[in-house]
Amino acid sequence: MINKNIRHLNKLNAVLAVFFWILTIACVVMIFYFSHQHADESTETSSMIARMLTRLFGGSVNEDIVRKGAHVFEFLILSVLTYSAIYNTNKISVETSYSESSVKIIKSDNEMCIIFTTWFCILNAVVDEYHQLFVTGRSGSIVDVAIDMIGVVVLMLIIRLVFTVTLKVRGKTEVRYNE
């Protein structure tokens, strides 16, 4: 006898949710690893990437730009993975998705995914910078948290725009709650 709740589970979304949560955790670990490098290791990594980019594109690539670009890129990737994990987790079961929640503070599923992703990434950025306070030769910086958030905010705006345009092209409107 099959439990009736199991019939309503979307197996593809369950597999995708697990896959994206594993990748999200791996990305957080990778960010933690890079933050744990002492100042000399971090400088060497930045220098190596700057030399590689200089060979690829010519000219001279500034190491500081490489470092700040790495912040943006790391958190852009983290936000893609986190959004995908949250989105697929929400779609595993129609009965337990946000759309079926009795208390809907946020207006739509897409907004819920964007807000939870943004908060998850902000928390990781703050913890990452706090962690650097305890690494030899490194320091935590609120400016670096802001730089980390550039990648997240840009991606969330793109997701919101693509979502809205896709609905308009299909002649649909976003399902909004409490309206």
pLDDT in tens, 45-92: 878 887 888 888 877 777 778 888 888 889 999 999 999 999 999 888
User: What's this model's pTM, rounded to 2 decimal places?
Assistant: 0.81
Residue 161's alpha-carbon distances to 26, 155, 156, 174, in angstroms, are: 28, 10, 9, 12
Packing angle of the helix pair 109-132, 63-90 (nearest 10 deg): 140
Contact 62, 50 (CB under 8 A): yes
Which tokens is 124 given?
């990781």
1-5's contacts with Cβ under 8 Å and 24+ in sequence apart are: 5/93, 5/95
pLDDT score for 70: 84
Contact partners, residue 128, CB within 8 Å, separation at least 6: 31, 32, 35, 148
pLDDT score for 96: 56
Residue 165's alpha-carbon distances to 117, 159, 174, in angstroms, are: 21, 10, 11
Residue 125's alpha-carbon distances to 12, 34, 47, 52, 114, in angstroms, are: 31, 13, 23, 27, 16
pLDDT score for 2: 46
pLDDT beneath 70: ranges in the chain: 1-9, 94-107, 175-179
